[in-house]
Amino acid sequence: MKRGQLTVIHADGTQQSFGEPDPALKPVTIRFGAGATRRILRDPSLGAAEAFMDGDIDIVEGEVLDLLILFAANNRWEDDNSVLMPSTLKKVTDKLAFRLGRINMQRRSKKNVAHHYDLSGKLYDLFLDTDRQYSCAYFSAPGISLEQAQLDKKAHIVAKLAIEPGMKVLDIGCGWGGMALYIHQKTGAEVLGVTLSEEQLKVARQRALDAGVADKVKFELIDYRNLTGAFDRIVSVGMFEHVGTPHYRTFFRKVRELLTPEGVMLLHTIGRAGGPGVTDTFTLKYIFPGGYIPALSEIAKGYEGLRYFMTDVEVLRLHYAETLKHWYERTVAARDAIIGLYDERFYRMWCFYLAGCYVSFQYGGLVNYQLQFSRSRDALPLSRDYMFDGERELREPHKVTLRQAG
């Protein structure tokens, strides 16, 4: 602790202060319960999280986001001098456990998805945008709303896909159907969305029925490995983090099999700015069992040698931090409602999860990748200008209306 000030009140009443006041960082005071120190020493990541969830760590001044910002701002990824590193033994045991945990066979994949995405729909309505986009938004201008940023994200992605009338589109990991419905609305393409979440499937199908497009936008409960057919375009947003590194080759091989010869695929995923790593124990236990955030080198091993062209790469550095800040603030504002749905412990867990993710993008080594692939070198225009032109058109409603009418 160099920048910002942290005060710790121990269980015996003694008090210590660390760091120096910094106007850019809010001061934080925490109080340890009788078992907090022991829990943290035993497993810093999981122990600190569970101590906070159980009230064994009480934040007297500030909130959990302020606490995590203090630590992360003093240990930025790019400074390469972080002291928040696990021991060698901890690294070994984590890797052994994690290698087993990320083997996501089909039955385990469905169970892992249900753990997170089959939570109450009311919870997601409380902190997500109105379209329930549960992935990195695109902040095309400073100060725009979360709703606008998620709308701009969809336009950003769909413009890259260069979808033409009459095309068939596959959405792998379709969530509650927002992207699939947007694609059809803006381009007229037929879309199939697939998910492993039964709750998401119900909502997505109902949304298509309500919009009167259930014959053009269809949703199925199916593992991507079991898909058949041919698609001109494939999009996958926020799903690749659940594939598991042993299955990257399977994923890319299947996508190539499903693409037409002139087909194009857009992969939107959280990624590591550095090399391969492991998922922390808190996230594996409480948030995303079987989840893993890949390094770009690991993604490359999945598609290399399969006769793909990687046709575009974009790195969204701070967009997810902005997105998570909105989600965290909405969660805090909905405290009473979330406790009513679950309990105080769940609310604290959710705050810790979102705050931890925020600092990982704002100060840590996480980014968001948008990777475009094509089976053909000629499937897309020679320059990237078509993306900018398409995105501009998608953001102008009167042009969309004319396209749909024509």
Active site residues: 357
Question: Which run of H or E residues covers position 259?
Answer: strand 259-272
What does the alpha-carbon distance between residue 160 and residue 153 come to, in Å, rounded to a whole number? 11
* Half-sphere exposure in the Cβ direction for 285 (13 Å, CA): 11
Of 246, 87, 250, the closest CA to residue 172 belongs to 250
CA dist 324 and 136 (Å) reads 8
Sign of the torsion formed by the C-alpha atoms of 403, 375, 302 and 228: positive
Q: Are 59 and 28 in contact (CB under 8 A)?
A: yes
- Whether the Cβ atoms of residue 312 and residue 160 lie closer than 8 Å to each other: yes
Q: Which residues contact 64 (CB under 8 A, 6 or more apart)?
A: 52, 348, 351, 352, 355
Residue with tokens 């769909």: 158
